[in-house]
Structure 1
């Protein structure tokens, strides 16, 4: 008998494993494509979430406008698989990486990202030597405090970068990760609108500085349903939305039914009545807690054990997940040898750690898809 939120599994699957319901995945992609289409916005999923050739090709076939990736190695892998349009949304430096990107740009529609004149010059030098021009997006820091330039510095820097031989600034992009820290859905929506509006204003300021750009690109699943509705935004690059995870459920963007993944694990020990140990540790589950501390009260620990209300994944070591009973009364049944399904806090790291998804449809295992080799991180 299935418990609330569990996938039906008609085949035995060894653990720990990442289970992917491909029908839910397709429905999630189609839903986001519909939102984007209604608002005249292109959808370019961030494929660093899954790093899986088959999933990238499926997203392209469903109608996505190419893929976004984090590293040149990922771009090479997806291009080899047949993806025709790719954005590397990460500042790349070094003649080796730039040369690899230049060669890739000869066969696909490739856009790179920069946030410094030094970075732009390193790209432009290599491309210009071969009479090529590289389209680039200027990365804007929208509050996360990671890479990117301050909004007020963007017009002058865009103008300087656009003057570099071998470079053409075509737009601005950001990862509005600050939205994940919103304490509630209303605050999340407000933050997403404000951040999107700020990016549109930055783009207008760059145009006034004399740089003719056309792309305003937002990049977070947390805000992906809001950003397309902001006039002036014309591209979104979310990644998690296609799968969803506990972070998206906490934000109100997803439900059990729209979460396409579960980590399957086995109970291997019951040291005390109110504790248990599973075979999914930090190498299988994300060590991340939910970004907003306000969500951790409702969703504590390292993932949600579906159908086992009262049990939480309290701690992780590399190969062990330590479960703790926090429900009312005495601990409910949890037996050694029992398999449990967990919705991870952060699905990206689960793909990266387990390196394989067990693909199911209507409960039947239909395939196993591997992620790229570690070299794709370069």
Structure 2
């Protein structure tokens, strides 16, 4: 793929400088972008002065507003008012996507009752079950399985090795990365009598007597409902609901290795980063950000626009708009004060020891 600097700038809604006819055939880090040749060249992502230090004269670059391309000897430049947003548009323009040939591969196994929309591309060894409906423009990579009665909207992109179980409903433009699993059974079990877990919840830790217990599965009859423009990362897992469906709102992005338990409801435009775990029946509002390794306890509610810092552990309800951090998670400013106080503890312990020595000497003299 090749576009000119001028075309790329218009596509990104950004200002350009220099020779706008130069062809752009890709993107690179500043140190990897050489001078532009006869057939064009790659454009360097140098959107801050510290990144521009390694630019070579004669190359093309995306710069932040206020940077002077002549300082770096560039032939052409695009100015980014919001660098990461421009980067999103640039990477989208040059991303070829997975190599999935148009049409249906002869090794794919597709039930007679399944319906594949116009323009679908189905890769090798794909298995599509009974009564599945897949919208137009879908691309399904090798070794994907889609279970009975599931529904995928238009322009779905399912990467190789993903697993979509029966009874999953998804809107348009779903992206599922390799190895993700959507619609597996929830982790829900019960014992004939009160379990140890139920006991310590009731008693807050004390045990009246430890008995043998055997777990009986509670089967998952609900499905998974996913909105439009949702992305699910590699090896992420979303469990189906017990009776009602687990729900993921439109625009939500789920990172790799995220675990979403049964009956969870996640709102729109949320961002769940790597290794987040959301336990069963919790409800997460709209535009919530859970940073890496955040844990959410079961049966709690997180309000709209909450931001949880990395490795936070959320055990109680969080009001809308709050920024939280820590284990257990509290307001970020409170957690910062706790951390400051913790760092002062050794000095405080030393001061207390000296005071004890002083008091002891005074008592001995008295």
TM over 0.5: no
Q: TM-score, normalised by structure 1?
A: 0.20
Larger Rg: 2
Higher-RCO chain (CA-CA 8 Å, sequence separation at least 6): 1
Q: Identify, as 1 or 2, the structure richer in strand.
A: 2
Q: TM-score, normalised by structure 2?
A: 0.21
Q: Identify, as 1 or 2, the structure richer in helix.
A: 1
